[in-house]
C-alpha cells in the first residue's frame, strides 16, 4: 500500500468525512487531507457495505488506505459494556484507528463519559462525537478524549453562530485541556472551512462534495483558460513560417 504521508511537510488541517476509498485515495495523493472520519450513517448512506460483517471488512480496507494517518470509526451501541467491547475490537482493525464515542446517549445517558475515561486509560484514542456545545467539548476532553468533534452545521441548523461556539471551545481547551484537538464536523457550506479554522479548530472534516466546491473557483477556471489560450497563441506564432 502506498504511503502518501510525508513527515517533512506540515499536516493538513482537513479530514475527509467519507467511507469512499476512491475519494480518500484521491485526496491523499494530493496531500491535502490528514485523516478520515466515518460514522454508521455515512457507512449506510454510501453503501460500500450491506451489513455489519461487510462494514468491518470495509473499515479494515479504509484503515489500511489512510495508514499511518488516523481514521475514526464509531461504536454502534450505547450499552456501556458493548461500547467497551466494540472499542477494543475496533482498535484491532488498525493501529491508526481512533474510536468515536458519542458524548452521551440518545436519552441523555451520561455513562459515555466514564467509558471515554476508561478507554483512554487503556491507551485507546478517542474521538468524542455529537458534541453540540463548548462545555460538552471541554468535559469530553477532561474525561480523556483526544479529539472533540463539535457539529457546527447542526449547531447552525438550530440558530447558533458555529464559529463563535468554536472560538469558545478553543479558549476553554487552551485553559483546561490543551492536548485535546477540536474537529469541526457536520460541515455544510464551503466558507465554513476557512471560518472554522480561523476560529481555532485544529481540524475540519469535510464531505467529498464540499471539497470540490471550495477547491474549484469559477474565476480560477477563467484565468487558467486565458493563460492556456495565450500559451497556445505563442506556440502557434513560433511555429508560423517567417
Q: Does 192 bind ligand E4P (CB under 6 A)?
A: no
Select the residue interacting with ligand E4P from 144, 205, 210, 211 (CB under 6 A): 205
Q: By C-beta, is 44 or 175 nearer to ligand E4P?
A: 44
Select the residue interacting with ligand E4P from 118, 154, 160, 181 (CB under 6 A): 154
Q: By C-beta, is 138 or 185 nearer to ligand E4P?
A: 185
Report the alpha-carbon distance of residue 65 to residue 96 in Å, rounded: 10
Report the alpha-carbon distance of residue 16 to residue 18 in Å, rounded: 6
Q: Does 185 bind ligand E4P (CB under 6 A)?
A: yes
Q: State the nearest-atom distance from the C-beta of 91 to ligand E4P, in Å.
A: 17
Scanning 112-120, 150-158, 170-178, 220-228 for contacts with ligand E4P by CB under 6 A, the matching segment is: 150-158
Evaluate whether 162 touches 153 at the Cβ level (below 8 Å): yes
Q: By C-beta, is 48 or 151 nearer to ligand E4P?
A: 151
- Helices marked H in 14-133 — which ranges? 21-30, 40-46, 52-66, 80-91, 111-121
| Near ligand E4P in 30-69, by CB under 6 A | 37, 39, 41
Instruction: List the grid coordinates of 201.
Output: 479548530
What is the longest distance spanned by two Cα atoms in the chain?
A: 84
Q: Tell me the three state secondary structure of residue 237.
A: helix
Instruction: List the grid coordinates of 77.
Output: 451501541
Strand bridging mode 14-17 / 36-37: parallel
Q: Does 165 bind ligand E4P (CB under 6 A)?
A: no
Report the alpha-carbon distance of residue 86 to residue 140 in Å, rounded: 19
Q: By C-beta, is 93 or 98 nearer to ligand E4P?
A: 98
Q: State the nearest-atom distance from the C-beta of 197 to ligand E4P, in Å.
A: 15
Question: For this structure, is 235 an active site residue?
Answer: no
Q: Does 18 bind ligand E4P (CB under 6 A)?
A: no
Q: Which residues are designated catalytic?
A: 100
Amino acid at each position: 500500500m502506498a504511503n502518501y504521508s510525508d513527515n517533512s511537510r506540515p499536516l493538513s488541517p482537513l479530514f475527509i468525512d467519507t467511507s469512499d476509498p476512491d475519494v480518500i485515495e484521491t485526496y491523499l495523493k494530493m496531500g491535502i487531507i490528514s485523516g478520515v472520519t466515518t460514522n454508521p450513517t455515512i457507512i449506510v448512506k454510501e453503501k460500500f457495505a450491506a451489513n455489519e460483517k461487510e462494514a468491518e471488512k470495509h473499515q479494515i480496507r479504509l484503515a489500511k488506505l489512510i495508514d499511518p494517518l488516523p481514521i475514526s470509526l464509531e461504536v454502534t451501541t450505547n450499552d456501556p459494556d458493548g461500547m467497551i467491547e466494540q472499542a477494543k475490537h475496533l482498535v484491532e482493525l488498525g493501529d491508526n484507528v481512533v474510536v468515536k464515542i458519542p458524548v452521551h446517549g440518545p436519552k441523555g445517558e451520561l455513562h459515555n463519559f466514564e467509558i471515554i475515561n476508561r478507554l483512554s486509560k487503556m491507551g485507546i484514542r478517542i474521538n468524542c462525537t455529537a458534541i453540540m456545545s463548548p462545555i460538552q467539548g471541554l468535559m469530553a476532553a477532561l474525561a480523556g478524549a483526544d479529539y472533540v468533534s463539535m457539529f457546527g452545521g447542526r449547531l447552525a441548523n438550530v440558530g447558533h453562530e458555529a464559529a463563535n461556539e468554536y472560538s469558545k471551545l478553543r479558549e476553554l481547551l487552551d485553559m483546561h485541556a490543551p492536548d485535546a484537538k477540536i474537529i469541526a464536523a457536520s460541515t455544510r457550506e464551503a466558507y465554513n472551512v476557512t471560518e472554522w479554522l480561523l476560529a481555532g479548530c485544529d481540524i475540519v472534516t469535510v464531505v467529498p462534495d464540499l471539497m470540490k466546491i471550495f477547491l474549484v473557483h469559477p474565476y480560477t477556471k477563467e484565468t487558467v483558460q486565458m493563460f492556456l489560450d495565450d500559451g497556445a497563441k505563442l506556440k502557434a506564432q513560433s511555429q508560423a513560417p517567417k
